[in-house]
Amino acid sequence: MRLRLGLLALACLFVFLISAGVSSFVVDPENIGVRLALYALALLALIGFVLFTVFAIVFPLFGRAGVKPAEVAAAVAAGRRAYARVTSARPTGGQLNGAWAYDVRLVVAATDLAPYSVSERVRVHRTDGKLFGTGEIVTVARLAVDDPHVVVTNGPVSTPQDRAVPQDAPAWPGV
């Protein structure tokens, strides 16, 4: 998503430069109607550039956004649901739809893989509490079979699985 926003910002900047340049240097000064239309297009492109740039910069603050509930449900149905121990958590200060964003280091105890460690930006809903990084257990779902990244499905809880999640584990291979 961030890449798309950045590309849209660059496209708006290109349209702004072309329309302002054509209006200033190519169009006859007496042809005021065409010049005004090109200046209006340049102004709209400049506004689009500013908006897309701001959203491209701010977007990562909110963590993995845009994950459809159907994707999470499919991952859970495929058996990629797991418990994870939070070894460190740092709040980003961002909140989206009642969920706080955190930069966390997780040890994921997947049922289909050996435990692995991953750094992730996750969102935890306000009803699930806050992460403190002192060994909380969260329920996560791995969206893809060959991808270490996870989405938090339930916030910090104390479960009988507490001992099954190791304190540390090697990082995901290739990350």
100-107 long-range contacts, CB within 8 A, separation 24+: 100/124, 100/126, 100/130, 101/61, 101/62, 101/63, 102/63, 102/131, 104/131, 104/133, 105/133, 106/138, 106/140, 106/150, 107/165, 107/166, 107/167, 107/168, 107/169
Helix (H) / strand (E) containing 51: helix 32-58
Give domain status of residue 169, yes or no.
no
Whole-number pLDDT of residue 10: 93
Whole-number pLDDT of residue 72: 82
Q: Are residues 29 and 109 in the same domain?
A: no
Q: Which residues contact 35 (CB under 8 A, 6 or more apart)?
A: 23, 27, 29
* Global confidence as pTM: 0.57
DSSP state at residue 112: S
Q: Are residues 77 and 13 in the same domain?
A: no
Total domains in the chain come to 2
Give domain status of residue 174, yes or no.
no
Rounded to whole angstroms, the Cα distance separating 39 from 136 reads: 56
Output phi, psi for 135, to 5 deg: 100, 20
Give domain status of residue 170, yes or no.
no
- pLDDT tens-digit series, residues 67-83: 777 888 888 888 888 88
Range of the domain at 29: 2-62
Q: Mean pLDDT in the chain?
A: 80
Is pLDDT larger for residue 128 or for residue 134?
Answer: 134
Whole-number pLDDT of residue 126: 67
Looking at the chain, the whole-number percentage of residues with pLDDT higher than 90 is 15
Please identify, among 62, 96, 111, the residue that sits at the C-terminal boundary of a domain.
62
Inform me whether the pLDDT recorded for 159 exceeds 60. Answer: no
8 A C-beta contact, residue 143 and residue 88? no
Q: Are residues 32 and 58 in the same domain?
A: yes
Whole-number pLDDT of residue 13: 93
